[in-house]
Amino acid sequence: MIVLESAQGARTTALGSTYTTKAGAEVTGGAYWLVEEEFWGAVTPLHRHIAAEEAFYVLSGRVAAWLDGAETEAGPGAFLLVPRGTPHALRRLGDEPARMLTVVSPAGMEGFFAAVEREGEEALRADPDRLVALAATFGTEVLGDHPAL
């Protein structure tokens, strides 16, 4: 059994969010990655995960999720499930960060955010092709800017 208090867990900060891992691949046998995500950035690009589902449970704040060609607003208590292969993007609404419990199944995407942190986010943002290629090595296809921009 693993018991973590609210601020406990390995932290990674990359691309507009801080991820506090509650259960990573090493304890789930690769089945999933569970994190408390603080989304303080403005938007994510439009992207899809080739072989992973992603789910968000909004704890506080508000987000707008772009799914299936439409944007849906989600606040505390809302649950969003993004099936594998589905293009999606998030946009933070309001001034406060959105806090979400985020699950990715199977695990693996945490490696992307760790790589961004390790390689340097500024350097990767200065070379978007390199960032897109890095995302692809972790099963994420970047499709473009957030559609609402």
- How many domains is the chain partitioned into structurally? 1
Residue 55 located in a structural domain: yes
Q: What is the DSSP string of 21-59?
A: EEE-HHHHTTS-EEEEEEE-SSB--EEEETT-EEEEEEE
Is the pLDDT at 95 greater than 80? The verdict is yes
Question: What letter does residue 120 receive in the DSSP assignment?
Answer: -
Mean pLDDT of the chain: 95
Show the CA angle centred on residue 146, arms to residues 48 and 136, nearest 5°: 35
Residue 119 located in a structural domain: yes
Q: What is the DSSP string of 69-119?
A: TEEEEE-TT-EEEE-TT--EEEEEESSSPEEEEEEEESS-HHHHHHHHHHH
Segment 7-27 shows an average pLDDT of 94
Amino acid symbol at 3: V
Residue 4 located in a structural domain: no
CATH of residue 124: 2.60.120.10
Q: Which domain holds residue 25?
A: 11-140
Residue 48 located in a structural domain: yes
Residue 147 located in a structural domain: no
Residue 146 located in a structural domain: no
Segment 80-97 shows an average pLDDT of 96
Segment 36-61 shows an average pLDDT of 97
Show the CA angle centred on residue 116, arms to residues 144 and 88, nearest 5°: 30
Confidence label for 2 from pLDDT (cuts 50, 70 and 90): confident
* pTM of the predicted structure, to 2 decimals: 0.92
β 33-39/46-49 pair status: unpaired
Is the pLDDT at 13 greater than 80? The verdict is yes
